[in-house]
Each structure stands twice: as structure tokens, then as C-alpha cells.
Amino acid sequence: MELTHEYCNEIIDLFNNDDDESMNKIINILSEFQEKYNNISTLNEVIFRKDTKQIFNLLLNTIASEKALEEMDKVWEENFSNIQPTSDNLKEKMDYLDFTYNVKYVHDNIDNVNLKNPDNHFQNKCNNVINYLKQGENDMKELSNSMKELTNKLKELHNTLTKKEDVNNESV
């Protein structure tokens, strides 16, 4: 899929209605972006800046948006209004807030940064965004694997209970 303004706007609109499908599209578009710019020696700076701006605009209007932040605050309030959050909960919230700040920083500065020799601050912000997204992807894979394991255990339990029920019905 070509990274166009229209396609990114479709994903942004979709995010407002269907987080799951939009997240799949965001993951796909990020993978395509990474693949496209895997070899930076042949980098066309103008196109790279345009595409990067587009990607970070997409992130700013989806997973790093005000809407996403409000949803996180709402969940936070629901979960921690009566109990003390753990240090892991606090770290997760701070990591997300840092991520949103870093996305905005890269978005706002990509047009002017020296791409051949970016300053450390800009480079750190980019790396932090990439690491946050990779961690999110890893967390999703772990969750998916856990759900598959749970499904298999439930199937085993169902089979065991069905066999037990069959045995009980036969003995009656």
C-alpha cells in the first residue's frame, strides 16, 4: 500500500470507529515503511521526510492522539480511583506519555533535521518511538500466544467435561 495522505486519513477515520482494524493497518503501514527505508544509503531525503511526516501524523492522530490519551485517562481513573497503582502501572503510563511527546517532537522536527547527521536529541526521540512500538508489538504477540494457550486449555476442559458427562449419562 502506497503511503498517501488519503490512505492515512482512512486509517485515522477507522481508528475513531474500529481500533482493532486500524491498529492492524497501522502495523502494516509501519512494516512497509521500515521495509521501504531499510537501505538508507539510497535514501531520497525529500521523499523520506514526506513519508516520515505522514507516518508521524498518522501516529499523532491515532495511538498518540488526544482521544487515545483521554481513553487512557478514563481507564486509569476506573482502575485506580480506589487503589494505589503499582510501579509497573505508573511506568506504563509514563512510557505512553513519553511516546506521545516523542511522536510529536519527531513530527514537528523532521522537516529541518540533518538526516545525514541528526542531533542526539532527535535521534533519541526516534529510537524511543521505535522501541515503544516494538515493545507494543511484542506485548501483542505475547497476549495472542496467551489467548491461544487459554483457548487450547478451555478446549481440553470442554472435552474432559463432555467425556465425563457422557460417562454419567451412560451409567444412568
- Tens digit of each residue's pLDDT, the chain (172 residues): 567 889 999 999 998 887 778 888 888 898 888 888 887 777 888 999 999 999 999 999 999 999 889 988 898 888 887 888 888 888 999 999 999 999 999 999 999 999 888 999 999 999 999 999 888 878 777 777 788 888 888 888 888 888 877 777 776 6
Q: How far apart are CA 111 and CA 107, in angstroms?
A: 8
Question: Chain centroid to CA 130: how far?
Answer: 10
> Hunting for cell 505475547 — which residue is that?
142
Residue 145: how many CA atoms within 13 Å on its side-chain side? Answer: 6
Tell me how far CA of residue 137 lies from CA of 23, 31, 36, 144, in angstroms.
10, 11, 19, 10
Q: Return d(Cα 23, Cα 11) in angstroms, integer.
A: 9
Grid coordinates in use for 170? 451412560
